[in-house]
A and B are shown apart, each in its own frame.
Chain A
Amino acid sequence: MFYREAGQYKTSYRADQALFPIRQDQIGMLLILAVAFIVVPLTQSDFVIDSFLTPILIFSLAAIGLNLLTGYTGLLSLGTGAFMGVGAFGCYKLTTFFPHVNIVVIIICSGFLSAAAGIVFGLPSLRIKGFYLAVATLAAQFFLSWCFIRVPWLYNYNVSASIEVPERLMFGIPITGPTATVTTRYLVVLSIVSVMTLLASNLIRGRIGRTWMAVRDMDIAAELIGIKLYPTKLLAFAVSSFYCGVAGAMLVFLYLGNAESESFNINQSFLVLFMVIIGGLGSLLGSFFGAALIYGLPIVLRMLKEGLGIAVTSATLENINFIILGTLIILFLIAEPNGLARLWQIGKQKLRVWPFPY
């Protein structure tokens, strides 16, 4: 009744191709952003922001990165964790070399390092695809994790083999390191994620995104209509790793505070992959849903346990979490292979015709 586009006439192609062609969507988006930027920092406790919102936003960005590669270009990758690691360790090295450069600039630059790594390990995609490519990206995962342990230069020869985030100021306010407040870090993360999501959505609406999707749907046909496969696939690898790298750098610098090789192991890659699948392959919105569900589920379970006072050990809880996660994945694939994003679309469609569905 309230959500329908009747009476909103488009008089130009430009208006028709806008990011949010429906006015309700524009208003809704602005509202969400306003809530995220203004209401949340004012009303929510540090606990909610630090244990839910910040990490979910960061993982959403990683999921978007993987989604660009797997969901939009159809190239399966199991090396997300390693590319996030390249971003994090790259960011650490860069800020060691250039301590006076703004840390946000450094975080974005570390994305380029990760993109370079992505291109190198994406080279096999020129000759192989599908499961074979997945194994090739596993090579990236294991090789890079090994580097994070065995190359002491990467963590400045720290005895603990981990990276400690130094304090960095922006406009005189500390935004990384132990003195930065939860809210500041949240706002920085939110700004970066918003801008990069906007970029991604414009990228996939434009020529580049369309070539990616053409390659995904049928590579031979794509080649026939004049898309050069190699540069297209490599670009997908580069952009995807760029997003993952920025997410990894943010994970360490704006959330964890310190990290070692373990933070970027194969399980991290799988986790991001699950976020993408459950959220929906080929949907930016789905990446957010997936990250919220997969990251939030264990925390909610833990809070449920404390709230209900059930006497289970944390190990048991973790196992139950594993079982629930696995069951959810299978159920989702059976019920809705297109993920949460598809459910959202169905809901929106229902809302459009409500209350007169015929």
Chain B
Amino acid sequence: MHLLYQIFIDPFVQMGSAPDLLVQTLWEGLVSGVLYALIALGFVLIFKASGVFNFAQGIMVVFAALTLVGLYAHGVPAFIALGLTLGVMFLLAIAIERFMLRPLVNQAEIILFMATFGLTYILIGAGQLIFGGDPKVMISDQLLLPSGAYRINAFGGFVQMQKIDIAAAIMASLMVAALAVFFQKTRIGRALRAVADSHRAALSVGISLEYIWVVVWFASGVVALATGIMWGARSNVSFALEIIALKALPVLILGGFTSIPGAIIGGIIIGVGEKIGEFYWGPLFGSGIEEWFAYVIALVFLLFRPQGLFGERIIERI
């Protein structure tokens, strides 16, 4: 009885009695949700265009951020380093297309998925070999990112908002808007959607698959760089991010593998759910439930709506 009270009633009483804490927790959840969403966005881009479930997205985030910080450490000015990093991501996209995707064309999905595991390992090894494995500080001041925090007195207490978090949220929305325009309005965007619908049909109307793949991997490289900068500015640039990137998987399940708005909303649901769960229900189980809470949300969700919130209906009975 006491346990039931602790699970079903007590957390809500706490929420009601300290609304400022609730809002603070919600805000933190929202922010980490935005970052999950950014990683998930990279997944969705590649999955839509090439049907590859890119396991390496997390490590691409780390790799992009490391390249940026590493270049700066070698004396390259911040914004030139940013440009060079974009160049590196472009070369990476070309290399991936040429040496991984092209030879593997027409293989089963699972084979392509496994290949991105290989890519993950190569990037981990190369990243550590070139830039070292120790955590690095993101050059957020040099990139003119805001620091410090707003303190809002409200809800019978105060709520603290880091400026960098607000910047991250704005950037994520801008990026989604830009991607939406890119997909809907531009020539390449239309070609991308055509490829997503059917490789063969796209080929037969003269769309070059190789070109499209390079474009889409580069686009997700750009998303990875943006994610890396934002994440690096909040904590450090380190390989620990790779495990955090796995959190993007439940986000994808919630949002659906093929939906960009789904990735954003899924990310926010997971981020908020996880922080609220950790803060209010965590002490019941001993802390650290954040590690698996997102997966359990996704698991429960899967049982009721396997295609996700916005995913295309899978017309397949299993």
The answer to whether A322 and B257 touch across the interface, beta carbons within 8 angstroms, is no
Name 18 interchain pairs, CB-CB below 8 A, sorted by A. A124-B303, A127-B318, A136-B298, A136-B299, A142-B295, A220-B317, A266-B246, A273-B117, A321-B125, A325-B121, A330-B100, A330-B115, A330-B122, A333-B118, A334-B103, A334-B115, A337-B107, A337-B108
Stretch at the interface among A143-151, A195-203, A347-355: A143-151
The answer to whether A326 and B246 touch across the interface, beta carbons within 8 angstroms, is no
The number of A-B residue pairs with CB atoms under 8 Å apart is 130
| Contact for A326 among B104, B121, B285, B302, CB less than 8 A | B121
The interface residues of chain A lying within 8 Å CB-to-CB of B117 are 270, 273-274, 326, 329
The answer to whether B291 and A132 touch across the interface, beta carbons within 8 angstroms, is no
The answer to whether A315 and B298 touch across the interface, beta carbons within 8 angstroms, is no
> Hey, which bits of chain B sit against chain A, CB under 8 A?
53, 99-100, 103-104, 107-111, 113-115, 117-126, 128-129, 133, 243, 246, 249-250, 252-253, 257, 285-286, 288-289, 291-292, 295-296, 298-299, 302-303, 306, 317-318
The answer to whether B288 and A327 touch across the interface, beta carbons within 8 angstroms, is no
The interface residues of chain B lying within 8 Å CB-to-CB of A130 are 109-110
The answer to whether B128 and A146 touch across the interface, beta carbons within 8 angstroms, is no
**Complex CA distance for A266 and B120, rounded to whole angstroms:** 14
The answer to whether B122 and A333 touch across the interface, beta carbons within 8 angstroms, is no
**Complex CA distance for A131 and B115, rounded to whole angstroms:** 14
The answer to whether B120 and A326 touch across the interface, beta carbons within 8 angstroms, is yes
| Contact for B299 among A124, A219, A318, CB less than 8 A | A124
The interface residues of chain B lying within 8 Å CB-to-CB of A143 are 292, 295-296
Q: A128 in the interface, Cβ–Cβ < 8 Å?
A: yes
A sample of 19 more A-B contacts (CB under 8 A), given A139-B298, A266-B243, is A127-B303, A131-B113, A135-B249, A135-B252, A135-B298, A142-B292, A143-B296, A145-B291, A149-B288, A274-B117, A315-B128, A319-B128, A325-B118, A325-B125, A326-B120, A326-B123, A330-B99, A333-B115, A334-B100
The answer to whether A139 and B125 touch across the interface, beta carbons within 8 angstroms, is no
The answer to whether B118 and A327 touch across the interface, beta carbons within 8 angstroms, is yes
The answer to whether B253 and A135 touch across the interface, beta carbons within 8 angstroms, is yes
**Complex CA distance for A46 and B64, rounded to whole angstroms:** 45
Closest to B103 in A: A334
The answer to whether A322 and B253 touch across the interface, beta carbons within 8 angstroms, is no
The interface residues of chain B lying within 8 Å CB-to-CB of A326 are 117-125
Tell me the residues in window 294-338 of chain A with beta carbons closer than 8 Å to chain B beta carbons. Answer: 315-316, 318-330, 333-334, 337
Q: A66 in the interface, Cβ–Cβ < 8 Å?
A: no
**Complex CA distance for A135 and B298, rounded to whole angstroms:** 8
The answer to whether B291 and A322 touch across the interface, beta carbons within 8 angstroms, is no
The interface residues of chain B lying within 8 Å CB-to-CB of A124 are 299, 302-303
The interface residues of chain B lying within 8 Å CB-to-CB of A328 are 118
Tell me the residues in window 129-166 of chain A with beta carbons closer than 8 Å to chain B beta carbons. Answer: 129-132, 134-136, 138-139, 142-143, 145-146, 149-150
Shortest Cβ gap from A203 to chain B (Å): 23
Q: Assuming the A-B contacts A76-B110, A131-B257, are A323 and B125 also in contact, with contact meaning beta carbons closer than 8 angstroms in the complex?
A: yes
**Complex CA distance for A138 and B109, rounded to whole angstroms:** 19
The answer to whether A132 and B296 touch across the interface, beta carbons within 8 angstroms, is no
Shortest Cβ gap from A340 to chain B (Å): 14
Most chain A CB within a 10 A radius of its CB, from B117, B253, B299: B299
